[in-house]
Structures are given as structure tokens and as C-alpha cells.
Amino acid sequence: MTDTAALFPPKAGAAEARIDSGRLRGRIEGDLAVFLGVPYAAPPVGRLRWRAPQPVAPWKGVRPALAFGFDCFHVEDPGDPLAGTQAHSEDCLTLNIWRPAKRPARPAPVLVWIHGGGFTNGAASATTYDGAAFARRGLVVVTINYRLGRFGFFAHQALTREAGGKRVGNFGLMDQVAALEWVRRNIAAFGGDPGQVTIMGESAGGWSVNMLMSSPPARGLFHRAVAESAGGRIGTFGKSLVSWQKAQEIGETFAAHHGVAGGDAAALAALRALPAEALQVAPFFIAPRETYSGPMVDGWLVPKDPGAAFAEGAVAAAPYLVGCNSREVDDMVEARPMAAALLKDAGPEAAAALARAYGGADAAEAGLMGDIVFVEPARYTARCMAERKAAAPVYLYRFGYVPQAYAAQLKGAAHTTEVPFVFGKTGSADARDLAVGRMMNGYWANFVRSGDPNGAGLAPWPRFDRASEDLLFIERDGSARAAADPKAGILDALAAAPFDPA
């Protein structure tokens, strides 16, 4: 590789760091140092497509870390407010770092952000994921890419044979673990403390956090966890993921559509030779379930479905902050027909019980999807964590603030709308929006720092416990208050309903 020191000589305003694969040059942005597009694994291309992430090849000289790497290959969701900004490629396993320009006297707590997008789209390059506000509070912030769609989640008998019988398929989750391993090895070079790592994500990122909580390969790689709008459980069946066996059947159905049969080396070579465009998957809600599995229960990286893992206490004993928004999907066009189908499948007795809980069948149909996919699972995982004997602190929230520009249009906070406020990057000049951004960023930064979101100037946020089950409400008017959940009766009915996503 070319010695990049000659191509990029040191300049005023540059920041450097030495990691295990070589030297990096980032840039100083005022009071921050920023390193972008840092590889944490080898490009998963060619023979490395559908392989566990491999080590980065060391380089000589200084590698520039001045621009985001490629976004992982995916189909853009036209309605995604958190879309990435870069060209797409399979060569995408990079991460980005923000830290204070002046290194602190003591190693700083580390926040690792896992983006959402239904495991089918999204990227760490989204402008909202700028770590500046957190870094200005003394944290080291890391945002990561991971393989998406069929590049990240694909099981097939040929891959099983290549892996010596190991149940492989969750390549995107393997990437997340590899990124956390990179953080453990290298974050001290940026002033971070590898013993104070918080994993944090929203939607598929929050779902990933819940899976990492129960993943043996991830144990010891993080110490606190934040799951925003994670979902990941449906009713008494508690299921959210397909089995590895089912995922392998789905993968072989996909292969057959492309004329590939069998599980030998020739079949695998044919699959790896398919152009990237042939592997693309539509966004989450419309992805074809007969040819795309998403994450799967493989028995080792994901030992069991997250709902079961939380119920059994088979998750990391880490401080846990969890919650969702007030109207996650209620206003989506797809929500009502999906709710109607679920109510029909649940049977007349369960549908009648839910109608009573909601105060009418129409209200049940209107609110069901947001509550069943996001609100009830957040309470469920909080309850499971709070019931542990040596319970780490648990904090539950519900975000209901609506930005002033949309106050007349929206009845509540839709999916993803808390994220700009968490990052303190509202894109607004409105005083109330800015105040909510400071509040949310402050709560979250305090949690990353200590495992407790409380701090000066913030409304008290009590630990969640089974005696009171108080949670923090961030209200439509921007205020924050702790109270019992007025939806408790509805959530109890949902928890008892026999919804089976299979």
C-alpha cells in the first residue's frame, strides 16, 4: 500500500491516532477531533461475502480518516429521515469517532451507536448521527456500519458446509461484535475507556442491542445498554426472529430463484458471483419473507429469541435504558390493515378482550401496531431486567414531543423522531426544540457516563421497578415527568394476547 504520509503531510488542525492496523489522521473541528471512515474489518467482498468479518490488513504510513466510508449496500427507503449520505458498496465495514480535541486526564466513557433501518437500510453516515453534542459532554462517540439485508443475513447449506457445520447467517450481527472488539482493542488511542462502553441503538439498532445483551460473543464488550424503539417481541409467543433452520430454507428458496441448487462449493461460488444488485432487499415492511429472513436464532451468536432470553435472565447484567415513542406507527398507512389481520388471527375472544381494553374495536385497530411492536416490548424487557435478583438499574421512557414545525400536523411522536433530540441535533432554531434536545442529550449522556440518566437541571427519572413501574414521559409540550403508565391495562391485554408472527 502507498505510504500515505507523503500524500497527506501533517497540517495544522489535524489529529492523529495509532491503532492496531496503523496510524490515522483525522481532523480538528473546533473543540473536537473527528476520525471518519476507519476500517474495523476487511472488505467483505469476493470470497469474503457471507464470511465472518476478517482482520484489517495493516497499512504503512498515515491513513487519512477525513471522510465517511461507503454506506453498506441497500435499497433506499424513500421515507427514511435517517438515510445515509454516501455511495453504496459491499466494502463498507467502517466506523467513525468523535472525541474532545483536548484529551481528558482520565479515559472517557464510550458510546457505540448502532443505526436503525429494519436491518435492510440505513447507515452511520446519516447527518443526524453526528456525535458532536455527546463528545462536547466529554464522551468518545463511535458510529458503525454493518452489513444489511441479504448481505448481512443469509443462511444456506453451502455456507454451513463451508463453515464446517457451524450455523452461520447473522453476518451483520457478527460485524457489530467485530466493531465492539475493535473498540476494546483501540479506543484508548482516542482517549476512550474500554471498560466503560455503552451500546446504543434505535429501531433495528435497538433490536440489535437487545440481541447483543444475550449474545455470548458480545459478553464483556459493553457495560451499559440503551434500546430505543427496539420492538422484538410479539404477545405470549414472545417471538421476533425466525429459526436458523427456517432461515436456511428461505436462503435456498432465494438461491433456487437464481438457478442455484445444492450445497457444494460450486453452488457457493455461483452465489458469490451474483451481482450485488441481485441480492438487494426491499425495505423492512415490504421485504419478501419467502426469500429474505432477517436476523435468525442460530444457537450461538443469538442463542434464543430475545424475548425468551430476557424472560430467563439470560442477558448481560448491565444498566439498561429502554423506551419508545408515543405514536410509533399509528399514522402509517399500513398500520390499520396489519392490525386488523393480527386481530383476526388472534381469534374472537382475544380480539374482544383487546377491544375492551382500548375502549372500542376502532381504537384497538388504530393503536395496536405501535403498542404491540414497540410499547409493550419496552415495558416487557424493563420488567424482565427489574426482576433479576442482582438487578442493575433500569430506566423506562416514552417520548411524546412533537417538533414545533409539525405540532399542528402530528398527534404524537412517530418512529425515529426522538433520534435528533437524543443526538442534540434538532436542525431547528425553535427555542423549545433546542431545549428538548439539550434535555434528551443530557439524560442520555449521563447514562453513558454513569449508568444513571439523572443530573443537574433535569426532571427526576426514577429507576423502573415492579412495585411502581414509573417511567419518564417526555411530553408533547417538551416537559418531562415521571408517572405510572396510563396504558397499563392495554399492555396487560397485549401481553396476554396469542399473537403468533410465524
Q: Which of 112, 115, 168 is nearest to 146 (CA)?
A: 115
DSSP string, 408-442: TT-SSPPTTTTHHHHTT------HHHHHHHHHHHH
Residue identified by cell 412533537 is 402
| Phi and psi torsions of 158, nearest 5° | -70, -35
DSSP string, 68-97: --PEES----TT-TT---S-EES---EEEE
DSSP label of 389 = T
Q: Which of 398, 396, 432 is nearest to 412 (CA)?
A: 398
| Phi and psi torsions of 9, nearest 5° | -65, 155
Q: Which three cell numbers stand for residue 401?
A: 414531543
Straight-line distance from the first to the last Cα atom of the chain, in angstroms, rounded to the nearest whole number:
50
Q: Which three cell numbers stand for residue 99?
A: 472525541
Question: Checking DSSP bridges between strand 242-243 and strand 296-297, what pairing results, if any?
Answer: parallel
Q: Which of 342, 336, 346, 383 is nearest to 488 (CA)?
A: 383
Q: Which of 145, 44, 126 is nearest to 80 (CA)?
A: 126
Type and span of the H or E element at 382: helix 376-386
Question: Checking DSSP bridges between strand 224-228 and strand 320-325, what pairing results, if any?
Answer: parallel
Question: Checking DSSP bridges between strand 22-29 and strand 14-19, what pairing results, if any?
Answer: antiparallel
Residue identified by cell 443475513 is 153
Q: Which of 425, 430, 424 is nearest to 406 (CA)?
A: 430
What's the CA angle centered on 369, arms 364 and 372, to 5 degrees? Answer: 95
Q: Which three cell numbers stand for residue 479?
A: 416537559
Q: Which three cell numbers stand for residue 131?
A: 456525535
| Residues taking part in catalysis | 203, 328, 415
Q: Which three cell numbers stand for residue 118?
A: 429494519
Q: Which of 224, 252, 490, 245 is nearest to 376 (CA)?
A: 490
